[in-house]
């Protein structure tokens, strides 16, 4: 692939596109609902906030019908929304098996590794998903729209919020009895949706000539009675602004898809 700009300059351009695209979110959402390609400009909050705890308000007596496959796909963020250097994925990265297919003695930490490996932060596969590759830094990003009962989503968010304390630092065992050092901390997220939780996870293999670290940014967001997850990871630079953009635009798009569904009833 021909590089027209350095990664650094692209990040600056990417940030400018996000700010300029804030006014275009509504039209982009409508385009996606109709199955058209959205303008490549996302919208992200310039300052992250600590993860919001799920609302204690009970769900509405008449919960909306679950999203259809088509509606879930319409709520996904594409590579066109993020622009260069993101492109459609070429397949799962090799680091997924090497760093996430591991076990831990502490049950919650083992459950976290399993959830990250299977991409099931909310306890089940997503209804629709998209994978993206960063051709410059060899990072990968995955956005999934989930169809789960609101109570289950809130329980999953509450569990994720405990992990920076219960799994702040632990040792995991990978294939051939390799020891991996894992850290978990809070990941600030844009104020998107009604409840959210972000995690910053690092997994380090110290057994080679030099330590190698996988950095993984994970987010789960509830928007009304719907939810989605975002994960971004890699062995090099993992741009947090891309995860923020998908969290922010993904929440807006999911809300718009649900609004359109209500209008059509």
Examine the pLDDT at 2 and tell me if it is beyond 70: no
Q: What is the CATH number of the domain that holds 189?
A: 3.40.1000.70
* 23-243-124-131 Cα dihedral, nearest 10 degrees: 90
- On whether the CB atoms of residues 42 and 23 are closer than 8 A, the answer is no
- Could you list the residue range(s) of the whole structural domain that residue 61 is in? 7-264
From the number of C-beta atoms within 10 Å of its C-beta (0-12, 13-18, 19+), residue 173 rates as middle
CA atoms of 231 and 37, how far apart (whole Å): 22
Region 15-44 average pLDDT: 36
CA atoms of 97 and 119, how far apart (whole Å): 12
Domain-located, residue 108: yes
Region 26-41 average pLDDT: 36
With b meaning 16 or more CB within 10 Å and e meaning fewer, what string describes 207-233? eeeeebebbbbbbbbbbbbbbbbbbbb
What pLDDT score does 54 carry? 58
The DSSP output letter for 226 is: E
Q: How confident is the model at residue 8 (pLDDT cuts 50, 70, 90)?
A: very low
CA distances from 153 to 12, 56, 65, 197, 259 (A): 35, 12, 16, 11, 20
Examine the pLDDT at 22 and tell me if it is beyond 90: no
Domain-located, residue 155: yes
Domain-located, residue 2: no
Domain-located, residue 1: no
CA atoms of 157 and 69, how far apart (whole Å): 23
Looking at the structure of the chain, the number of domains it has is: 1
Residue 247 CB coordination number (10 Å): 31
Identify which has the larger pLDDT, 34 or 69.
Answer: 69
- On whether the CB atoms of residues 164 and 111 are closer than 8 A, the answer is no
Domain-located, residue 88: yes
Region 2-27 average pLDDT: 38
CA atoms of 15 and 109, how far apart (whole Å): 34
Examine the pLDDT at 57 and tell me if it is beyond 70: no
Chain mean pLDDT for the chain: 81
What pLDDT score does 153 carry? 96
- On whether the CB atoms of residues 184 and 159 are closer than 8 A, the answer is no
Examine the pLDDT at 58 and tell me if it is beyond 80: no
Region 204-233 average pLDDT: 95
Provide the angle, in degrees to the nearest 10, between the axes of the packed helices 240-264 and 25-33.
Answer: 60
Domain-located, residue 49: yes
Examine the pLDDT at 52 and tell me if it is beyond 70: no
Domain-located, residue 115: yes
User: pLDDT digits over 138-196, tens only?
Assistant: 899 999 999 999 999 999 999 999 999 999 999 999 988 899 999 999 999 999 999 99
What pLDDT score does 225 carry? 94
What pLDDT score does 136 carry? 87
What pLDDT score does 207 carry? 85
CA atoms of 247 and 193, how far apart (whole Å): 9
What pLDDT score does 40 carry? 35
CA atoms of 159 and 172, how far apart (whole Å): 20
User: pLDDT digits over 68-127, tens only?
Assistant: 999 999 999 999 999 989 999 998 888 999 999 999 999 999 999 999 999 999 998 889
């Amino acid at each position: 692939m021909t590089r027209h700009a350095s990664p650094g300059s692209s990040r600056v351009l990417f940030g400018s596109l996000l700010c300029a695209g804030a006014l275009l979110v509504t039209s982009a959402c409508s385009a996606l609902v109709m199955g058209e390609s959205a303008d490549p400009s996302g919208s992200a909050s310039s300052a992250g906030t600590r993860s919001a705890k799920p609302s204690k308000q009970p769900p509405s007596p008449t919960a909306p019908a679950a999203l259809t496959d088509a509606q879930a796909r319409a709520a996904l963020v594409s590579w066109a929304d993020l622009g260069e250097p993101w492109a459609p994925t070429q397949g799962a990265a090799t680091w997924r098996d090497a760093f996430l297919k591991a076990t831990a003695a502490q049950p919650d930490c083992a459950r976290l590794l399993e959830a990250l490996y299977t991409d099931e932060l909310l306890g089940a596969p997503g209804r629709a998903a998209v994978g993206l590759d960063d051709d410059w830094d060899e990072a990968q990003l995955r956005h999934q729209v989930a169809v789960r009962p609101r109570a289950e989503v809130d329980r999953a968010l509450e569990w994720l919020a405990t992990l920076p304390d219960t799994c702040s630092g632990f040792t995991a065992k990978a294939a051939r009895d390799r020891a991996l050092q894992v850290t978990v901390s809070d990941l600030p997220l844009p104020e998107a949706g009604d409840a959210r939780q972000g995690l910053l996870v690092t997994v380090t293999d110290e057994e080679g000539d030099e330590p190698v670290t996988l950095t993984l940014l994970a987010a789960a967001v509830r928007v009304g009675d719907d939810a989605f997850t975002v994960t971004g990871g890699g062995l090099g630079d993992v741009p947090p602004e891309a995860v923020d953009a998908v969290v922010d635009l993904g929440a807006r798009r999911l809300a718009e898809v649900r609004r359109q569904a209500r209008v059509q009833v």
